Amino acid sequence: MRVVSIPMRVRFRGVLHREIAVLPGPSGWGEFSPFLEYAAPEAARWLGAAIDAAWGSWPVPVRESVPVNATVPAVPAAEVPAVLARYDGCTTAKVKVAERGQSLDDDLSRVAAVREVMGAGGLVRVDANGGWSVDDALDALARLSSYGLEYAEQPCATVDELISLRKALAQRGIDVPIAADESIRKADDPLHVARVGAADVAVVKVAPLGGVRAALEIAQEAGLPTVVSSAIDSSVGIAAGLALAAALPDLPHACGLGTLGLMDGDVVTDSLVPQAGSLRVRRPAPSPELLDRYAAAPDRVSWWRQRVADCHPLL
């Protein structure tokens, strides 16, 4: 296993360096990169996905390329044009909102800046990461909807709140579809959201669901329009998400797999970055030179090895 520390272009989830572990197997390389605060029971799913990538097999793709969205972190509105400039040809943008320590006015300014850059024909979606109450989400989406939202991702934390919000939006005639992310990838029953009608769109990530085939099964059983997303991965991790998106029978929305633009480095030379708004389906392998260049400090390597030891018995 190799552990790297890649600098971020902007602060994301409070960090300026993304630590990632990659490991080789007979099928290729797998990525193990749960966020640092995740405890072993949750991080173990990510280890399962890495093992699946390195030792398992991926489904046969049904498409050669996958459309992707730009990702705009909770940056000041003035920085939005520079962020979007990193995404070649993307006509969809996902905008972080409900950031702790920021206000709704900050969100409105950021989304307005995105809409200005994207133009009337661009698609804009927002992601609150469960940061709003039902009342706050209703107020925020009523105001943000004037910018023409494709959907709002995880506006509230719980499934019951998502159900209440969908009803309230309908009653007020606010046409903003709801997408579920954390309510799927962090749930003991990832299909519960679909069964109770809590969302219009399913956001699916390979790593927290245990691998490509496991995530594909969940997406198919949910029966909702699916968006495949990544979690600030290297190209090794994004390749797994790309394999999932390429295998889905239908792909009505752009996927959140263009996140490499948020990092100032990668472990492969043929990085999975958007070209003309899409990613070509492929699986690049890490470069020994880049693994050395971004190698984490010895104490961090030891920390990650212990994390694997803690997670493995829970698989």
Query: From the annotation, which residues make up the binding site?
Result: 127, 153, 181
Distance of CA 194 to the CA centre of its chain: 19
Contact 285, 28 (CB under 8 A): yes
- On the 0-12 / 13-18 / 19+ scale of CB atoms within 10 A, 205 is buried
**Residues β-bridged to residue 126:** 95, 152
Please give the Cα distance from 90 to 93 (Å, whole number): 7
**Total count of residues recorded for the chain:** 315
Contact 215, 209 (CB under 8 A): yes
Q: Which residues make up each annotated binding site for Mg(2+)?
A: 127, 153, 181
- Strand, helix or coil at 32? strand
Write the CB contacts of 159 (distance below 8 Å, at least 6 apart in sequence). Answer: 180, 183, 187, 192, 193, 196, 198
Q: Mind telling me the catalytic residues?
A: 96, 205
Please give the Cα distance from 238 to 249 (Å, whole number): 19
